[in-house]
Amino acid sequence: MAYWDSFGYDLSYWDSFGYEWSRWGRTQLDGPGRDESERTFREKTGLTPEDVRGKRVLDVGCGAGRFLEVVSRWGAKWAVGVEPSEAVRVAYDNLSELDRIRFTPQATTGNVGLYRMTLATFAGSQPEGEFDIVYCIGVLHHTPDPAASFRAVARLVKPGGLLCVWVYGKMGPWSKVSDRYRKITVHLPWPLLRALCLLAVPWDYLRRIPGIGKYLWALVPCSMHPNWRWRWLDTFDWYSPRYQSKHTVEEVTGWFARAGFTDIRARDVPISVRGRRP
């Protein structure tokens, strides 16, 4: 069944994420002895437990819920997950036992899309646009118009609230090679692509061969994550989405400035920017 956002784009471009997270639903969740998602969240938002504690938080594009679990653990008053794909049901299954986490209505009504989602009123009839903290990590660059997506997200921040965004930056020559492969991979059946991406597991060992390893890797760029399941997942995540744009710090800070945000800060992790709505 097709859905369209308010800009007229067919929202089936989100479907690869529903497939992805239904296969790797718990791979990136922190557990005993694991804190990678928490560390990643700190790096890409600059937020700390003190910033989040007691706040109303919105995760736009929550995937399987890895960062929602973090902000819940940090003591958010409410953490609301928005996810345009079927992955929202995976997130719900992962986190439904946590009291402080809620999801927008498409958790039960299906893939209704980023732009026309109506935020449910959770905890005290909290209205749309009244979130203390909104973050959007790794989502905007997978939309057909990232700047328009940013404007849609920015409206959800309450006056005085914070917006944190992370998108892909301009990358090295290897990304041009992967972009050529992507012209094919985005059209492959997902089960076939998932099987092909499993090659990233042994390919990482070839990368370590002295002298020639880096050239072998450059022929077929894959994730270099030390955990083989993450490596498989990250490679699929790179080659499957229909849209994948890269940005500069100046471009993203410009989005914030044009939306009227102040105290705009770019972090060392490219491209991570946060700002405050006056």
What predicted TM-score, i.e. pTM, was given to this entire model?
A: 0.89
CB 144 within 8 A of CB 67: no
Condensed to tens digits (0 to 9), the pLDDT of residues 70-79 reads 999 999 999 9
What lies within 8 Å, CB to CB, of 134 at 6+ separation is 57, 58, 60, 153, 154, 156, 157, 161, 162, 163, 164
Least confident of 112-121, 217-226, 246-255: 112-121
Is domain 11-169+246-276 annotated with CATH 3.40.640.10?
no
Domain residue spans of the chain: 11-169+246-276, 173-239
pLDDT number for residue 118: 35
In the structure, what pLDDT confidence band is assigned to residue 62 with cuts at 50, 70 and 90?
very high
CB 15 within 8 A of CB 85: yes
Burial class from Cβ neighbours inside 10 Å (0-12, 13-18, 19+) for residue 135 reads buried
Instruction: Report whether pLDDT(123) > 50.
Output: no
Read off the pLDDT of each residue in 226-251 and give the average, rounded to a whole number. Answer: 97
Residue 8 or 86, more confident:
86
pLDDT number for residue 196: 98
Listed residue (68, 100, 98, 70) closest to 83, CA to CA: 68
In the structure, what pLDDT confidence band is assigned to residue 105 with cuts at 50, 70 and 90?
low
pLDDT number for residue 84: 77
